[in-house]
Amino acid sequence: MAHILKNYDEELSALKDSVVEMGTMSLTAVEKAIKGLADGNRDLCYDVIDEDEKIDQREKDVDEQGMSILMRFNPVASDLRNVLSSINICRSLERIGDHAVNIAKRARKVLKAGDLDEVRLIDPLYLEARKIVSAALTAYSDVDEEMALAVIKMDHKIDELHKALGKSLSHKIAEGNGNTESLLNVIFISRSIERIGDLAVNIAEDIVFMTSAEDIRHQ
């Protein structure tokens, strides 16, 4: 059922559009950073670093939209949870953007140091992270609690892949095979991707709170 005040519905809808758009921007930044690393394209890495400002600005815009709704319409019940969750989600998306910048900066260093075969080991981890962030954004857009709960389960695979990759690269470093600095940078990239998975879980938890009023954080 629509609200009596038409512009209340319009502003809630605009808030949602902004968050979804911000999600796309953050996910694109991660994709670009990884592509830059995989293709040896440092320009893509520089783009990610430069474009982070846009994600930061979008975070401020979402905050402003949320605050305006709180101030003007005094939302309650599911509307209130919607606004609070949207603001929280945009916080997670901004941090995903920051991790994309971290990946881009590390990738730049790896590329500068020359070819590194181990770069391709990032792929399976990245593909899982991409899947989980996309699923979290779809769950938000479709208000799909079931999908949000599935996102939380998906994170285990990312954790396992990250752990395995870290172990493998640590061995290489210990054995003195390859460029230690570059291998360390790949470990840091893996760490950023793992954190992106955690942030997707945070988004999913916010969606569950939005849909069912249940706070499942820290369980």
Going residue by residue from 54 to 73, which x/- string records binding to other proteins, judged by CB under 8 A?
Answer: -------------------x
Examine residue 8 and tell whether it contacts other proteins (CB under 8 A): yes
For other proteins, give the closer residue by CB, 79 or 144: 79
Examine residue 16 and tell whether it contacts other proteins (CB under 8 A): no
Among 53, 67, 115, 213, binds other proteins (CB under 8 A): 213
Examine residue 75 and tell whether it contacts other proteins (CB under 8 A): yes
For other proteins, give the closer residue by CB, 15 or 183: 15
Among 6, 76, 114, 167, binds other proteins (CB under 8 A): 76
Among 31, 47, 63, 79, binds other proteins (CB under 8 A): 79
Please count the residues of this chain forming the interface with other proteins, following the rule CB under 8 A: 16
3-state SS string for the chain: CCCCCHHHHHHHHHHHHHHHHHHHHHHHHHHHHHHHHHHCCHHHHHHHHHHHHHHHHHHHHHHHHHHHHHHHHCCCHHHHHHHHHHHHHHHHHHHHHHHHHHHHHHHHHHHHCCCCHHHHHHHHHHHHHHHHHHHHHHHHHHCCHHHHHHHHHHHHHHHHHHHHHHHHHHHHHHHCCCCHHHHHHHHHHHHHHHHHHHHHHHHHHHHHHHHHCCCCCCC
Q: Which residues bind other proteins (CB under 8 A)?
A: 1-5, 8, 73-81, 213
